[in-house]
Amino acid sequence: MQQKVKKGVKMVKQELKEREEVEAEINTVKSWIQETKEYLLSPDTEVDTQLQELQSLLGEVTTHRQAVEKMAEQQQNKYLGLYTILPSELSLHLAEVGLALVTVQDQIQTKERETQQIKTLNQEFGQKIQGVANELNAILSKLKKRTNDIAQAKLEQKILGEELDSCNIKLLELDASVQDFAEQNALLAKQLANRIGKLTALHQQTIRQAEYRAAKLSQAASHLEEYNEMLEFILKWIEKANILVHGSITWNSSSQLRDQFKAYQTMLDESGEIHGDLEAMSEKIEYLASVYCTEGMSQQVLELGRRTEELQQVIKVRLPNLQDAAKDMKKFEVELRALQAALEQAQATLTSPELGHLSLKEQLSHRQHLLSEMESLKPKVQAVQVCQSALRIPEEVVTGLPMCHSALRLQEEASRLQHTAIQQCNIMQASEGYNVKLKSFKNRLDKLLVNL
């Protein structure tokens, strides 16, 4: 009997121990369920991390359910072996924890689905945000590009403006959707709102760039037109200046030299505007540089400045030479005309038919007077020679000038006239001596005849 009692006590202790172990396992599961519920109610974390944790929890809840089901089956079999039923309290605890596991599993699955939906929505939002960002960056890139065709650029500007308006509508729609999304996941909504904020800033930057470019393009056409007008003027000046400086100088007369001097002076005066035009063209290039391809234009202005400077220097060197040559030629012409007038007068006197009506003595006296007057031709000839030698004209040109040929001819004519006058005087003087002797002989003859 005593042994039976001991055995009974031992069995009770064993039962109590096993019961405590089962209760401990049940409590462990209950604690896990409580922690899981608290986790499911906690604020949202990063989506991918949350999905990983939820998938891990699903694995754990499945393990716990299997463990509880196995525990319930073991306890059921145990008490059947003892020909008794499972204690109601234990059965209730097992049923409660089993039901709680089913409930929490449903909650985890629901949370996982919601989180996956949130992830999908977040990805969709991200794709839309990235899409708008790509559009804005593409527009911004196009706005920064320079053109060779202002008219075409204005058309493209209009299209880009329409694309910007479309981006603005998409941004407003995105912002409204994200505000609604905040009810599902405040953390992600905040992150998305920050991205949209940056995108809005990019949109505003793009708008400013578009407005800047539109303002530049609106003025670019007039600036380009003014640039081309100045360019045309300078090119025409260079063409005319090239023709002038590479053409031959005509040295034949003072009037021609003066005309050429005036032409050079006019060309130099016209070039006075070119320096200012080149500076204005550089300013136009600077204005156009943000919207128009100006590299070739900058090089063009430098080349125009170089060519203009070279031509101006040639003109400045030639101007005083032409002026000096014109002055010298004028003096030469004055002296030459004076010599020619004196020669013509002497020639006219020497060949005058009225001299034939005078007596031989009167003719001799007249020619002697003319001969003395012709002495005054020498200073005139010398003056012509001095002026000719003082001409500031290239030596190789001087010998071929018609004026110099005329000077030589007049000098020879002066010498010839003087020689002719001397010969005529000598002849008349001889004739006058013969006449005197003849008259004396006649007088003596008359006297002899009287005496007879």
Q: Could you report the per-residue pLDDT of 194-231, keeping only the tens digit for each?
A: 989 999 999 999 999 999 999 888 888 889 899 999 99
| Integer CA distances (angstroms), 409 to 29, 374, 389, 414, in order | 143, 17, 16, 9
What are 234-245's pLDDT values in tens digits? 999 999 999 999
91 exposure class (CB count in 10 Å sphere: 0-12, 13-18, 19+) = middle
Quote the percentage of the chain above a pLDDT of 70: 80
Residues 335, 380 contacting (CB under 8 angstroms): yes
Residue 253 has pLDDT above 50, yes or no: yes
Between the two ends of the chain, the Cα-to-Cα distance in Å is: 247
> How many Cβ atoms are within 10 Å of 232's Cβ, its own excluded?
10
DSSP 389-436: HH--S-HHHHTT-HHHHHHHHHHHHHHHHHHHHHHHHHHHHHHHHHHH
Q: In this predicted model, which residue has the larger pLDDT, 278 or 383?
A: 278
- The pLDDT value given to residue 181: 81
Beta bridge partners of 147: 292
Ranked by mean pLDDT, the top range of 15-19, 90-94, 116-120, 299-303 is 299-303
What is the distance between the alpha carbons of residues 192 and 175, in angstroms, rounded to a whole number? 9
Q: Which of 121-125, 228-232, 236-240, 445-449 has the lowest mean pLDDT?
A: 445-449
Pick the more confident residue, 395 or 244.
244
Alpha-carbon distance of 260 to 318, in angstroms, equals 10
| Weakest mean pLDDT among 39-48, 209-218, 248-257, 265-274 | 39-48
HEC per residue, 53-66: HHHHHHHHHHHHHH
Mean pLDDT to the nearest integer, 367-376:
58
pLDDT at 10: 65
Adjacent-strand bridge partners of 292: 147
Q: What is the pLDDT of residues 414-438, one digit of tens each?
A: 777 667 666 666 665 565 544 444 4
Give the amino acid at 413.
Answer: E
At 308, the pLDDT band (50, 70, 90 cuts) reads very high
Distance of CA 153 to the CA centre of its chain: 16
Measured distance CA(379)–CA(376) in Å, rounded: 6
Query: Distance between CA 129 and CA 137 in Å, rounded?
Result: 12
- Residue 255 near residue 271 (C-beta atoms within 8 A): no
Q: Residue 50 has what pLDDT?
A: 82
pLDDT at residue 437 in the model: 46
Contact between 402 and 439 (Cβ < 8 Å): no
Residue 249 DSSP code: P
pLDDT at 322: 92
The pLDDT-based confidence of 368 (bands split at 50, 70, 90) is low
- pLDDT of 441 > 50? The answer is no
Q: What is the share, in percent, of the chain residues with pLDDT greater than 90?
A: 28
Range with lowest mean pLDDT among 8-12, 72-76, 398-402: 8-12
Instruction: State the virtual CA torsion across 165, 169, 171, 173 in degrees, nearest 10.
Output: 180
Q: Name the burial class of residue 155, with classes exposed (0-12), middle (13-18) and buried (19+) by CB atoms within 10 angstroms of its CB.
A: exposed
Provide the whole-model pTM.
0.60
Position 17, amino acid: K
pLDDT at 438: 42
Q: How many CA atoms, within 13 angstroms, populate the side-chain half-sphere of residue 431?
A: 13
Q: How many CB atoms lie within 10 A of CB 321?
A: 16
C-alpha to C-alpha distance for 220 and 213, rounded to whole angstroms: 10
